[in-house]
Amino acid sequence: MNGHRKLFAVFPTMLTLGNLVCGFGSITISAKLVQSDNTLPFLALLGTTAAREGQGLLIAAVLIYVAMIFDAFDGSVARLTNQTSEFGANLDSLCDIVSFGIAPAFLMLQFTRISAPHALWEDPGSHLQRLLFVIAALYAVCAALRLARFNSETDEEDSHQEFSGLPSPAAASVVASIPISYLLLVRSPDPAVVAVAEWPGQALQLVLPLVTLAVACLMVSRIRYVHAVNHLLRGRRGRAHMIKLVFALAVVYWQHEVAIPMILCWYAFAPPIRSLFELVLRRRTPDPSEL
């Protein structure tokens, strides 16, 4: 019986390490895009430099989502097999800082460098280049602080129905969704979609760093976020909730290039906007006791 339990304890750990490998792979592929004369072997098969860069960025961004899948299942498997431990929690956070802290920051830098003709990186050491590095470093720092705070404030019996601050996987998904959306649009078989998608490239170079900085601040905030999967899929829901979910999935299938980043940005930015609106409303509404 003890041998059976030890055998199961390996599986959650392997899932956690799979998260780490995906994050490391994302960083490695993004880094190799800088070295046009020393690309990874499979990237060299993609043809021109532009094709390698675009496909490489897409693979690097998708690997962040694969890391999220590993991260979503390792804790569930550990709880299912009754193998939760402090070791597993610490290992999970160490892997998360690579996949959801460093990899998205590095992806943002690389996408900003090669996504559009506006040459932000032509002048090495420029103020704009240094600003981009600062934003990327701040994102990684905030992700580390968010993960450390989560470990220190969460116990094993926590139901994870809500989070204090934007979870680091959600922040990483927002950052990774923008390069994926843009690359899918410019590679669309519909010429009209490609023609419309060409102009956002320069704008996205400026938008993505700002989005990265915003989600970094939200990670270390105290704004409450619901657990998206638990909120949508668990528990008994009414017919209206099911209809909304079905329509949302239909829209994602129809316009997945733009629907997914919009949904993720809504999850990240709707709670702080709602909190700000409620704060302004409370300040403008007179207290009945003072009338």
123-168 pLDDT, tens digit each: 666 777 888 899 999 999 999 999 999 888 876 555 567 788 999 9
Per DSSP, 286 falls in state: P
Give bridge partners of residue 162 from the DSSP assignment.
Answer: 226
In Å, how far from its chain's centre is CA 287?
41
Close Cβ partners of 19 (under 8 Å, ≥ 6 residues apart) = 67, 70, 71, 74, 92, 95, 96, 99
Compute CA distances 83 → 71, 96, 137, 164, whole Å.
16, 19, 34, 25
CA distance 279 to 148: 28
What's the total number of domains in the chain? 1
CA distance 127 to 133: 10
Question: Nearest 5°: phi and psi at 132?
Answer: -60, -40
Residue 288: the pLDDT is 60
Q: Which position has the token pair 């993609």?
A: 46
How many C-beta neighbours within 10 Å does residue 105 have? 25
CA distance 234 to 229: 7
CA distance 194 to 234: 39
Residue 102: the pLDDT is 96
Is the entire prediction scored with pTM above 0.75?
Answer: yes
Q: Which position has the token pair 């998904």?
A: 173
Residue 22: the pLDDT is 96
Residue 127: the pLDDT is 75
How many C-beta neighbours within 10 Å does residue 258 have? 16
Q: Which two tokens stand for residue 217?
A: 């601040």
Give bridge partners of residue 164 from the DSSP assignment.
Answer: 224
Residue 48: the pLDDT is 45
In Å, how far from its chain's centre is CA 158?
23
Domain range enclosing 69: 2-290
Please report how the helices 168-186 and 49-80 are oriented relative to each other, as an axis angle in degrees rounded to 10.
150
Low-confidence ranges of the chain (pLDDT < 50): 1-8, 36-48, 116-117
